[in-house]
Amino acid sequence: MDLVARNITHAYGGMRVLDDVSLTARGGEIVAVLGPSGCGKSTLLRIMGGLEKPVSGDVFTSGETAPGTLNPLTYVFQDFALVPWLSVTDNVMLPLQHHPMSDTDRRARVSSALARVNLSDFSAAYPKQLSGGMKQRASIARALAVEPAVFLMDEPLSALDAQTRDLLMEDLTRLWTETQFSAIYVTHNIAEAVRLGHSVAVLSRRPGRIREIVKIDMPLAERREGAPELIRARDAIWDLIRAEAAVADREISHAL
Amino acid sequence: MPYERAAPAPNLVPIAFRAGGFLPRRIPFMAGATFAAALGLWWTATSLGWVSDLALPPPAGVLAAFSEMITNGMLVKHMAASLQRLLIGFALGGSFGIAVGFAIGLSSIARSSALPLVSALFPIPKIALLPLFILWLGIGEVSKVATIAFGVFSPMVIATFGGVDSVDRGLIRMAQSFGVPRWTIIRRIVLPGAMPAILSGARISASIAIILLTAAEMIGAQYGIGAMVLASGNLMRTEQLVAGVLVLSALGFSVSQGIGLAEKRLLRWR
Ligand SMILES: Nc1ncnc2c1ncn2[C@@H]1O[C@H](COP(=O)(O)OP(=O)(O)O)[C@@H](O)[C@H]1O
Ligand SMILES: [Mg+2]
């Protein structure tokens, strides 16, 4: 299934946040959306998953979803959004409970999702007993269990320390290699974007506008820190960002 | 040698520890010792005649009054009457209060209509309503229970809707993003999230309920701890009066212990 946003414009009380953004997540591909804090990335993601209505523009899906898909557009949140009074198992179970299926099937989905993120041993733990990386893995398991057509990931690694972030990038790469899911992966971190994105949509500062979509052809599983292809992509993106910063500086100096 | 070690200063002054205090702890057995000391003082004051028996009866007199009330069955009779009023009034006021609190927390219509009404009701000392309830419902049990229920209702509403308001919106959006039905969100996210506030509301309204119970029984009841305390005062039977007050203290203590137990069980995740 593809997820298509067309000409999205959004504003909060007169402050323009997104300006005519069009973006497509194609089946089996990760689109990284890269932009500075406050440029409207989370807003765009909320709009694309139906958690917010844009001022103008439309979001569509096209194509069939797999038969096991319970929640086609599924978020992974920066702050994990785990329910503190539910165990890891019950957190993963919560979105399955209202779907008509046998308890055995539900439990099978939960245990396979937990196994995929290596959390089987912590199924009875409460969120407060987990480290940050484990919390995010639990929240990824919750998303995996509903077999999404498109993952909507809002800076899933931003609340984690650098080492944990690297480990989780490897986990995500492995998960994608197992099942080629599609995803919109929002981040402000260039290294994450070039590690996980099949393409990187570079957003301008607020109001967010798409500057360019940089394609990275290297297969995810082969990507390593410092691979020449990734360095080329990173440098290209840096040039875009620098050019924009220079323009912004000129604008400010004119305004002064 | 990359660097020279500095020569030791001629006189070494240890730094002072400055981070003491502000950390009160429980000292074991101190509570028991304090009670024993208070009892000892009471016993000394009465047996040495520092205070007259009429003003403060000796511990032995209070104990005798207790055993008399137990053997002639009056204690059970008074306790049963009081507990029944308290439990029914608290359960009624509490459940209506929680229901209305949820409505105010979840619906704009309820927030705009019921909240101002409850806010107007809240500052009324509910005992002032007892005469009205007696006019409406008669002098019997119903008017007393209604007074207690009303007294519990408004603090429960306020605590509950505050608790509902304080539930993490991020969790609610998360559940919605997974298509979790509204009723399940209320049951599994909003209710547990509001539970700490509901329980602390229950603690406050329980103490209000006991005050109202005693007052209502003093105004017009044949049986009940409040009625017994008032009658003992009128008959200058101070030892029975003090026994009644001790029963009220035990009642309040057990209610608050019960709520503490509920907190421990329901809020284990914290
Ligand atoms: N619900 C809201 N109400 C008002 N302003 C908002 C709201 N959500 C976001 N904003 C503002 O919109 C801008 C973009 O926010 P956001 O999409 O969260 O940016 P990003 O995720 O790229 O950091 C920010 O300036 C933010 O303060
Ligand atoms: Mg954001």
Residues A221 and A101 in one domain: no
Q: How far apart are CA B119 and CA B141, in angstroms?
A: 27
Task: Check whether residue A99 and residue A38 sit in a common domain.
Answer: no
Contact across the interface for A51 and B177, Cβ inside 8 Å? yes
The region that residue A208 occupies, defined by phi over 0 for left and psi between -120 and 50 for alpha, beta otherwise, is beta
Query: A162 with A126: CB under 8 angstroms?
Result: no
pLDDT value at position A244?
82
Ligand 1 in contact with A54 (CB < 6 A)? no
Quick one: A158 and A45 in the same domain? Answer: yes
Would strands A30-34 and A182-187 be described as parallel, antiparallel, or unpaired?
A: parallel
* Boundary (domain end) residue, out of A113, A148, A183: A148
Task: Classify residue A50: in a domain, yes or no.
Answer: yes
Query: What pLDDT is stored for residue A177 in this prediction?
Result: 95
Number of domains chain A is built from = 2
Question: Is A71 domain-assigned?
Answer: no
Q: Determine the distance separating the centroid of ligand 2 and the alpha carbon of B241, expressed in angstroms.
A: 66
Judged by CB atoms closer than 8 Å, whether chains meet at B171 and A83 is answered as yes
pLDDT at B4 over 80: no
Does A28 lie in the same domain as A41? yes
Residue B73 has pLDDT above 70, yes or no: yes
Q: Is residue A70 part of a domain?
A: no
Torsion of CA A91, A96, A97, A102, to 10 degrees: -130
- Among the candidates A101, A125, A148, a domain finishes at A148
Residues A155 and A55 in one domain: yes
Interface membership of B270 toward A (CB under 8 Å): yes
- Residue A77 forms part of a structural domain: no
Residues A144 and A177 reside in one and the same domain = no
Together in a domain, A121 and A173: no
Residue A73 maps to a domain? no
Which pLDDT does position B269 carry in this prediction? 87
A146–B178 CB contact, under 8 Å: yes
A178/A219 same-domain check:
yes
pLDDT in tens, B47-64: 998 998 888 999 999 999
Residue A51 domain boundaries: 2-65+151-255
Type of residue found at B253: F
Each residue's pLDDT tens digit in chain A (256 positions)? Answer: 999 999 999 999 999 999 999 999 999 999 999 999 999 999 999 999 999 999 999 999 999 999 999 999 999 999 999 999 999 999 999 999 999 999 999 999 999 999 999 999 999 999 999 999 999 999 999 999 999 999 999 999 999 999 999 999 999 999 999 999 999 999 999 999 999 999 999 999 889 999 999 999 999 999 988 899 999 999 999 999 888 878 777 877 777 7
Mean pLDDT to the nearest integer, B95-108: 97
Closest CA to B95 of B49, B157, B164, B146: B157
Residue A126 is assigned to a structural domain of this protein: yes
Tell me, what's the pLDDT at A188? 94
CATH code of the domain made up of B59-266: 1.10.3720.10
- Asked if residue A75 is part of any domain, the answer here is no
Residues A246, A161 share a domain:
yes
In a 10 Å sphere around its CB, with 0-12 CB exposed, 13-18 middle and 19+ buried, how is residue B263 labelled?
middle
| Domain end among A104, A129, A148 | A148
- A183 and A104 in a single domain? The answer is no
A36 and A156 in a common domain? yes
> A205 and A179 in one domain?
yes
* Residue list, CB under 5 A from ion ligand 2: A 42
- Using CB atoms, which residue from A51, A84, A98 is nearest to B180? A98
A124 to chain B, any CB pair closer than 8 A? The answer is no
pLDDT given for residue B20 in this prediction: 87
